[in-house]
Amino acid sequence: MSQEKTKDMSQYFYRASAADFMKIPGGPVAYWISEKQLNCFENYPSISRYATSSNGVQTGNNAIYVRLWSEVSISKINDKWYPYNKGGAYRKWYGNFDYVVNWQDNGNEIKSEKNFCARGEEFYFSSGITWSDVTSGRLSCRYLPNGFIFDASGPSAFFKAPDLIEIGVALMNTKFSDYWSKILNPTLHFQSGDFRKLTLAPGYINDEVRLVSKSLIAIAKSDWDAFETSWDFTVNPMVEIAHDKIPIRHGYQDLCVKWDEMVLKTIELEKKNNRLFIDAYGLAGELDPDVFSEEVTLNCNPFYRYGSKKDEQEIRLLLQCETIEELLSYAIGCMMGRYSIDKPGLILASQGETLEDYLKQIPSPRFMPDDDAILPLTDQEWFADDATNRFREFVRVVWGDEHLQENLDFVAESLCLHAIKPKRGESALDTIRRYLSTQFYKDHMRTYKKRPIYWLFSSGKQKAFECLVYLHRYNEGTLARMRTEYVIPLTAKLTAYADKLEQDKAASTSAAETKRLEKEINTLHKQQAELAEFDEKLRHFADQRIALDLDDGVKVNYGKFGDLLAEVKAVTGEKPQ
């Protein structure tokens, strides 16, 4: 061998005693860890002294017993359907509360399932901490409020002393716990048994840690509840800060400042938590307490939301676009009566509720919801009360008349940053109409995880007629009303418009104009044929007076209308019958 190859290689190897491995619960071969880190497991008590962890419910059939909370009647939550913690995406401190489970009569129906299994039932509905079993490489822990059942994907822990809950959340969200989770279980899982192997140093149990943890939980809850997929959502953030003297553009800028402050505050508090942990465990010089922007798991943080691979300008533009998309979604909710600008939170969110039920809660609304919860989304202005015109009215009522056009321009400009491509010479209202007609439902499907609450009835590829129907306000007469109030009148309007185009063509003296008119007439004839076919199908289903049961969930109910609805396969998993 050459001298180069025979030089001392000891610097490239670890030396460790097998006895040292046994200091770590389970004895993993973690030869690279330091003596100080090993001492954490030798010197401090296991967290199992303070808390019990468990994997929760296995229903045996989630398709029957588990729903997104937005699918069912809000009046049945905490009656038949109970909040259900299923883990979810990487998120710290608070959130990922999307589901409910049928636990009526103490879960008697579920308990009859062959594959049912219940662990830790004595802890159901108790407050504690929770994390996701599948970590995707990073561990994150959240506060679990009272009132939840949990499942195997969202293992949870419950402390003997309630004042240790905030301590437990703080410990699990340190860099150390994330690092050690890979040693205790080197797979993509972190289970309830792995949790019990962690240690809790008495020096980490103090009021300063509790205060930091409570502050971080409060920030994360505020962030989670600012989005309509939270059951504690009250009002869209843009509307919350709106008044008629400030244009939407300036309100958005103010909101961004607030969000940036929330992110910076979270970074400051998480760094402090890491330092408090390092001091309590005697790990000075071993761990870096620093926290980076993309590690702050707030929805309002674009660096976490969109990832760090994009540049800051692109990230900021994405945030602006999606914030305006969320405003439009909230406005649709106000049109449907789900929300109101006059009262926070859900208004109509139980099966079969009507405009009369809305007016009992809000007798004199500034913005009146649609009387039948059928909202046209046509690519042209065929109806005065279509979604585009109603949105214009929504903006006028919320922000006033003075900056109306400026506000519509900002909305259109924001949508063209990412959602749709800009179109030269297009008015702001036409841009908004194009977004609602072509992109809104795709965004709605993504937001509600392919379990939409506003259903898109569509005549087909030519988009002769499309409308949204609010699931919770659907009734057996909805399709008949859709036909008589919208489809039949539209048929007459298309005929009249086709006649006018033919007259314009006959009078045209320009070859280019004649060609343009011919193209428009050809498209219109295709729409007429599509609408006639849709009307026939609609009449057939309207005569059936189809009833829905929200307890069955969106997937089952969505399949009852053949191909009258858009995206049937995406929702039900099967082609329309």
**Bridge partners of residue 458, in order along the sequence:** 466
In the chain the domains, ranked by start, together with CATH numbers, are: 35-305 (3.90.220.10), 312-572 (no CATH)
Judged by DSSP in three states, 175 sits in helix
What single-letter amino acid sits at 408? L
| Nearest residue to 335 (alpha-carbon basis) of 327, 161, 527 | 327
More confident residue, 28 or 369: 369
Phi-psi region of 300 (alpha: psi -120 to 50; beta: other; left: phi over 0): alpha
What does each C-alpha distance from 436 to 376, 443, 452, 562 come to in angstroms?
A: 10, 10, 15, 23
Give me 234's structure tokens: 């009250």
Q: Is the pLDDT of residue 17 over 70?
A: no
Q: CA-based Rg of the chain, rounded to a whole angstrom?
A: 29
- Over residues 101-112, the mean pLDDT reads 95
- Taking the whole predicted model, whether its pTM rises above 0.85 is answered as yes
Q: Is the pLDDT of residue 368 over 70?
A: yes
Q: Is the dihedral of CA 362, 400, 256, 429 positive or negative?
A: positive
Q: Measured between alpha carbons, how far is 518 from 307 in angstroms, rounded to an integer? A: 48
Which has the minimum average pLDDT: 307-316, 317-326, 371-380, 437-446? 307-316
Q: Is the pLDDT of residue 24 over 80?
A: no
State the DSSP code for 46.
B
pLDDT digits (tens, 9 = 90+) for 416-450: 999 999 999 999 999 999 999 999 999 999 999 99
Q: Measured between alpha carbons, how far is 264 from 522 in angstroms, rounded to an integer? A: 57
Cβ 125 vs Cβ 147: under 8 Å:
yes
Q: Is the dihedral of CA 475, 477, 480, 485 positive or negative?
A: negative
Give me 359's structure tokens: 């007016």
Give me 307's structure tokens: 């990832």
Judged by DSSP in three states, 67 sits in strand
More confident residue, 269 or 516: 269
| Nearest residue to 390 (alpha-carbon basis) of 357, 449, 341, 323 | 341
Burial of 526 per CB tally in 10 Å (0-12, 13-18, 19+): middle
More confident residue, 467 or 114: 467
